[in-house]
Amino acid sequence: MKPKVLVVAHGVRSLSPSLSEQIDANYHIINYDCDNTDECKRRMMPGGLYSEIDAIVETGWKKSAPFLNHNLFSGDMVQAYPSSVKIVSCSGHGYDAADIPTLTARGVWYCNTPDTCTTSVANTAIFLILNVHRYFGFAEHCVRIDAWSASRALGSVAIDPIGQTLGVVGLGSIGLATAQKAATALEMRVHYYGPRRKPDAEAKIPGGAVWHTSLSSLLQVADCICLACPLTKETHHLMGTAEFAAAKQGLRVVNVARGQLIDEEALITAMITGKVCGVGLDVYENEPVVDERLKNDPMVTILPHIGVCSQTCWGEFERRNWENIDGFFLSANKKPLTPVNVIE
């Protein structure tokens, strides 16, 4: 019997014919089409359509329709899984939406797809870093509303990033790629903060990089902060009132990771006082709701969480997801390629 795999395919997806043939040859595919997660729970009950599935693959762009708000990896949803489910693989670098402890307790491997959207998100970070220095978004706004004279105010605040210190929080694959691009293309100096020093990563950055053992130490020297770390209990509101107070005057803030890393009320207060002079965001604390004070400030660059939105990502998501499934069901060691947890 082929393993039964429930495939949650979002509307934006790229599946090559060769990979599709391989999947069909190795697995019995059941396509997810529930209107909501309650319906999914009912289908997972004994005798239901999903009652004997062995794996779940969520693939494609999770921010696209039709299953945008279907979290199949929360605690109550995981509790509804049939006992046959042994592995989950989900597109994306993050895993904050998954209840890893509950999955682990149920004996279910949870896998993400690291290093599949590194380039796309790093390119977004570079766009935002450049924009918070030169305010091109505001300049475009002035052209669109025929307010060329208003754009001349940029002369007193815009600066090129060359020679500026970029503080990267989280020197993982995306943070490293961003640092490399910033050092090469924008000629910025790179400092970073993380739980441990990464000499190998430092060596890949033109001019090297300086590690800080604390965020406060990094904030004392950084001209621009770029957040590229995971959202955890420890990193929730990583940037708050105390952190903005400790930062250099005129800090520029970029976030391409998770919105809840920043206390937006503290950020807005820092903008009002002048402590922060440039903001570029692809993610938000209460996403998809964006604070009106951010939306109405044309000097703030805001994007609709599209850092990953590139055709180059979708095929990579697909490839890595099925590598995980193949690793568990078809490989000799019966282990997925990129698990977040460990099942003994």
Catalytic (active-site) positions = 258, 287, 305
Pairing of strands 28-31, 4-9: parallel
Phi first, then psi, for residue 108 (nearest 5°) are -110, 125
DSSP H or E run through 181: helix 173-185
- As a whole number of angstroms, the distance between CA 78 and CA 56 comes to 11
Instruction: Tell me the two tokens of residue 81.
Output: 């899984």
- As a whole number of angstroms, the distance between CA 3 and CA 294 comes to 48
- As a whole number of angstroms, the distance between CA 249 and CA 177 comes to 27
- As a whole number of angstroms, the distance between CA 96 and CA 337 comes to 19
Sign of CA dihedral 90, 95, 101, 102: negative
- Among 177, 186, 172, 161, which Cα is nearest to 122's? 177
- Residue 24 CB burial class (10 angstroms; 0-12, 13-18, ≥19): exposed
Phi first, then psi, for residue 8 (nearest 5°) are -100, 95
Instruction: Tell me the two tokens of residue 69.
Output: 């708000």
Residue keyed to tokens 């090129």: 160
Amino acid making up residue 38? D
- As a whole number of angstroms, the distance between CA 4 and CA 44 comes to 13
